[in-house]
Amino acid sequence: MLKDDLKALWKYRHPGYAKRFGQDWYQRATSSGIWSLRQFAQHLQSSYLPGILAHASWPLGTNLVEGINNRIKKIRRMAYGFRDAHYFFLKIRAAFPGNRR
């Protein structure tokens, strides 16, 4: 039951609600009495929870990240032989128009 509840954490789109749910799940997992589940919950709380909370604010899937990486690899292959790193980064920025702060 706790495993299925943990899957719901990825559906939150507000970091505050996700954090509250994660803390509630952590309390239930540590009070379950199952040693391996307590170890997993402690590791999740200390290592992975900040990344999961960031996913609530910026829900990037692996498909989008892989697409970006493939486009950068293509630009790098096309720019083979150029020694100017600044020009390479300008080409990457030109390939992804958007919010430039």
The confidence score (pLDDT) of residue 1 equals: 86
Rounded Cα distance, 14 and 55, in Å = 9
The confidence score (pLDDT) of residue 80 equals: 77
Neighbours of 21 (CB within 10 A): 17
Please identify which residue in the block is written with the tokens 């960031």: 54
Distances (CA, A) of 74 to 9, 69, 100: 35, 9, 22
pTM beyond 0.85: the answer is no
pLDDT, tens digit, for every residue of 37-54? 999 999 988 888 888 888
Q: How is residue 81 written in tokens?
A: 């032989």
Rounded Cα distance, 74 and 93, in Å = 14
Task: Kindly give, in sequence order, each residue whose CB lies less than 8 Å from that of residue 97, ignoring residues fewer than 6 positions away.
Answer: none
Given a cut of 70, whether residue 101 has pLDDT beyond it is no
Q: What is the mean pLDDT of residues 60-73?
A: 88
